Chain A
Amino acid sequence: MSNSFVELHARQRAEALLDAGSTRELIGPFDNMISPHLEPQGIVPEADDGIVVMKGTMAGKNAVVIAIEGSFQGGGIGEVSGAKIVAALEHVLADNKAGKTVYPIIILDTGGVRLQEANYGLLSISEIQNMIIALKKYVPVIGLVPGRVGSFGGMSITNALLSYVIGTDKARIGLNGPEVIEQEAGVKEWDSSDKNLIWNTLGTKQRQATGIIDEVVDDDVAAFKQAITSAINEKKDSQRDQRGDFYLSLLDQLDPSQPLDIAGYDKLFKQVTVKEHHLAPAVAGTEAGTKSRGRNWFEILTGIKNAQSEVPTVLHAQKDGREYIAIVPDEHNRFPRVQHGEVGLQEGYTVASVVNDLIAADKDKPATQKTPIVIVVDVPSQAYGYKEELIGIHMSLAAAASAYARARQAGHKVVAFIPGDAVSGGFLAQGLQSNRLVALDDLDITIQAMSKASSARITQRTIAELEEATKHVPAMAYDIENYQKLGSLYRLIEGVKGYDHDARAVGTVEAALDDAFASLDDAPTDLSFRYTNDIAVNGADGGRKATNQVRALMDQQWNA
């Protein structure tokens, strides 16, 4: 039959796309750059850590293919694999900035974060997203989702940020896999054994019809090449991260208390009347909102008592020239899956609209005068639900991540303040695109890629085995003190807890935020702080040593 692209492994896929004889692999299997985190957990590593970076030409044009190997650990992104992608994209960006056009092509075949390297995976994915957003100003960043793993988890958010995405009918795209939704929300929300429902919902046929993927081609190497070439030549960019008004209008017209099937959604999708959405700042109210650490600190830092907003789960306001943005729980929210503060469809798009409005308002100001942003992070997770996946919650989270990243890249100083939980896709949308992370030293904070129950199910371990692993691998841990060992935090604020509101606590936090903003004067607008600080470089408990090794090796090999 045809010359299948799906059948190929990552390296073969890269070779198949690039012109014969033009290829050169960077940080390949002979460079011994394997993950240091797998063997200590009894997991067999792969010499390339599941990522193939290959330079070459495509139809004569300079190109770099970054291919994820879906059959190694489900294509999960860990520290080394993530750093390979980031370092490669960074060089592509530098080349393009220097006037040498190089086209990046990313082959996604991934479940998202590699759960055995949890927090490293989340950090890496946010850094990949940052690079893609920066690159799109110069060249289209083409994504391929050939299948069979498809594109899930944090990498589905990445997927939504790509300029143009091409797949086959053997791919699926979604934020949360059906197994995770079943685990988190029950079998009634989604029966993960129902393969027809899975494919009808997440398969590319449905995804193309509703704007989540741009093109579906036959499973054939030549078909992929042709689609990529025309996407490059025509500079295709579907601007998937800028569709907030459409989706917020769609959500206005949706009754989330009623079941929504595929036909019903398709009908709704076609009937949407698009209206602009702008969220007014929060105002003081008479009744207390649903209690949360995020609300506590938003109200303290903005001075707004019982803050209320037109979108009850998204609070924003300016105080002393800083913009504060929080996602908060709302126990009576019309979307049941966000009642505990999860980031859902409406939250991601609304946060994006707030940040986009700010970018537009400050558009003509010099970088030093752009409004600084404080992201108040208290997100127990993203919303786990069938409707959320059908509509494409990953696109909503991508809209928020994109907005924060574009604000930062434009010169807004962005500091994430973490008084509450910072979990998974919720954290990717609301926090991880900041250039400084500042957290309370509060062991009630959960900071992770997935709940223990789901993580155990997906990695086929018991919760006891998982907890054992968290003791030895800081990136697997669920607490903020282990998180600091990775070097990701600018500052861990001691002596203040999530629900504190006394003057001393407030003063301490305000001073820490002032310090974080001060450190951003003349600082890079990227995310490099996280792997260049002292703990990251020299930390005894891991830091980002492997990241830095990868980066050094990529520097050496890029123009070799």
Chain B
Amino acid sequence: MEKLHFKYQATQPIDHPVHIGVVASGDLEVIMKPTDKTESELNIVTGSDGFKEVWQNVLTRFFARYPLLADFEINDFGATPGVVNLRLTQAMEALKDEQ
């Protein structure tokens, strides 16, 4: 298990929290909560050690496409980057649907 922490500049604040996913094998949960800060903070607990750079690459791409301003909590049980990206996108779409 490894804890990772990232910050990203973001411009689109969210106005209510969102939760998606389950901490099942090969999967993860993503929680986004509204924040007063000017950048998005991500606290990640991952079961797969040694993938900080891969996480950073996935997140950099995500925030380049969707600059959501929020506090993120992610609990990951060995998801591939493809699954991480899918869940992040689903959380984003859940926000969009509800708005």
Contacts and interface: CB of A to CB of B under 8 A. Distances in A.
A227 B45 CA distance: 40
Nearest to A10: B22
A29 B33 contact: no
Interface string B1-36: 100000000000000010100111101010101000
B45 A44 contact: yes
Contacts of A46: 22-23, 29, 75
B19 A29 contact: yes
A9 interface: yes
B1 A42 contact: yes
A43 interface: yes
B19 A28 contact: yes
Interface string A62-90: 00000001011000000000000000000
B47 interface: yes
B22 A44 contact: no
B40 interface: no
A30 B76 CA distance: 17
Interface in B27-82: 27, 29, 31, 33, 45-47, 73, 75-77
A39 interface: yes
A221 interface: no
A47 B29 contact: yes
B1 A29 contact: no
Interface string A27-49: 01110000000010011111100
A77 to B, nearest CB: 16
Given A29-B29, A30-B33, A45 B19 contact: no
Nearest to A30: B17
A18 B25 CA distance: 28
Interface residues of B, number: 18
A351 B75 CA distance: 45
A29 B74 CA distance: 11
B46 A44 contact: yes
A144 B75 CA distance: 28
B25 A45 contact: no
Contact of A47 (B1, B31, B76, B77): B31
B22 A45 contact: no
A71 B47 contact: no
A4 B50 CA distance: 37
B19 A44 contact: no
Contacts of B19: 28-30, 47
B77 A44 contact: yes
A45 B75 contact: yes
B22 A9 contact: yes
Nearest to A9: B22
Given A28-B19, A29-B31, A71-B25, A45 B73 contact: no
Contact of A44 (B1, B17, B31, B33): B1
Nearest to B47: A44
Given A30-B17, A30-B19, A47 B25 contact: no
Contacts of A69: 22
A259 to B, nearest CB: 37
Interface in A458-514: none
Nearest to B48: A44
A412 to B, nearest CB: 42
Nearest to A50: B23
A47 B22 contact: no
B29 A39 contact: no
Given A47-B19, A47-B73, A72 B1 contact: no
Nearest to A34: B75
Nearest to A41: B1
Contact of B22 (A39, A42, A43, A72): A72
Contacts of B29: 29, 46-47
A232 to B, nearest CB: 28
Given A29-B31, A45-B75, A47-B75, A39 B23 contact: no
A44 B21 CA distance: 14
A200 to B, nearest CB: 27
Contacts of A28: 19
Contacts of B45: 39, 44-45
Contact of A72 (B24, B46, B76): B24
Interface of A: 9-10, 28-30, 39, 42-47, 69, 71-72
9 contacts: A30-B17, A30-B19, A30-B31, A43-B1, A45-B75, A46-B29, A47-B19, A47-B29, A71-B24
- In the A-B complex, the 5 residue pairs with the smallest Cβ-Cβ separation, listed nearest first, are A71-B24, A46-B23, A42-B1, A29-B19, A44-B47
Given A39-B1, A44-B1, A45-B45, 11 more contacts: A10-B22, A28-B19, A30-B17, A44-B23, A44-B75, A44-B76, A45-B23, A47-B73, A69-B22, A71-B25, A72-B23
